[in-house]
Chain A
């Protein structure tokens, strides 16, 4: 695959190195000349000292034949523009952006960035996994961004308790995928009856989260245990 990486910070540097080792064709765009030269000395002549948000720089890097453009600079605004230029100016099929402000995720998605990687969200998710809240937990983006993998923690008060999965009115486009009970993962079948303490893994559309919360967790937002 031919991948253009924009941003030669720590993420861009290691990403480029790994991609080369995996046998991919890579061009790295880094706008600071000194940093570009430094990386070039270490990993060879795959580095262009250009600003990847400029159309001419993407053209020089070969964006019109790139399979993937990934923007991993430390600035959200630069990553957005890089992906939008790649997508709309060079018809790149897959654009991947690093997003630092979690509030920007939906904006980026709405504006056409194919995949969004949010370190902030990932770390937040890791921390929240250790906190006993009966909330929905976002696990991963699927299928280019519209779908997500969600974990729902059921309590004894959850409306889903004692009902079979076939009884539950699931929001359209959402599927109960598996559940974890006593540390064991099991597939959800039509006759599966849920109990308090179950962790249910759901694949669903992002905009169905509220409906899912109503079905699985209930509207009562009792977070007093926090």
Chain B
């Protein structure tokens, strides 16, 4: 499959390296060329310095029509905007935005953007570690609109991590 990752921080770089190792085609963008130092030397995907919230940049980098899109910069709003560009203008079906504010993470799932909230995941994991019940929120808020009409309700879907839902097109 072809994956686009916006933001080459720790999470973006780790995900890019893993997908690349698994034989997928990866395009990763970051505003800073130095961020690509986080990628392993074996990385065979494409690293593009540019603004992942700019539609022109994404188009020129060849992001349109990818199978999956991950918005993983440090800014919640940048991730939200990149994800919505991917969905509306680049016609990418599987789009996930990292949003650290739990309120926005839930709100945007209602607006059709799947979101992952590190704050909730970390807090729940820590609480579980000491045996205290957490928020009970899913680790990934699936988009509730037209994108995934056949998905199970959120509570049931929470158990399966996102990559499992992505179709493998066998073009590795």
Q: Are B107 and A85 in contact (CB under 8 A)?
A: yes
Instruction: Classify the interface of chain B: helix, strand, loop or mixed.
Output: helix
Instruction: Classify the interface of chain A: helix, strand, loop or mixed.
Output: helix
Count of chain B residues with a beta carbon within 8 Å of a chain A beta carbon: 20
- Asked whether B103 is an interface residue with its Cβ less than 8 Å from the other chain, the reply is yes
Interface residues of A in 54-105 (CB under 8 A from B): 54-56, 75-78, 80-81, 84-85, 88-89, 101, 103-104
- Asked whether B120 is an interface residue with its Cβ less than 8 Å from the other chain, the reply is no
Partner of A77, one of B81, B101, B104, B110: B81
Which of B72-80, B123-131, B134-142 binds A? B72-80
Residue interface bits B79-121, CB-to-A below 8 A is 1, else 0:
0110011001100000000000101100100110000000000
Q: Interface extent on A, as a size class?
A: 20 to 34
Partner of B111, one of A53, A84, A101, A103: A84
Q: For the complex, give the distance between the alpha carbons of A84 and B76 in Å.
A: 14
Partner of B80, one of A55, A77, A88, A103: A77
Taking the closest CB of chain B, its distance from the CB of A118, in whole angstroms, is 15
- Asked whether A33 is an interface residue with its Cβ less than 8 Å from the other chain, the reply is no
CB-CB < 8 A to A89: which residues of B? 107
- Footprint of B on A, CB under 8 Å? 53-56, 75-78, 80-81, 84-85, 88-89, 101, 103-104, 107, 110-111
A-B contact pairs, 18 of them (CB 8 A): A53-B76, A54-B103, A55-B101, A55-B104, A76-B53, A76-B81, A77-B53, A77-B78, A78-B77, A80-B77, A80-B80, A80-B81, A81-B80, A85-B104, A88-B107, A88-B110, A107-B55, A110-B88
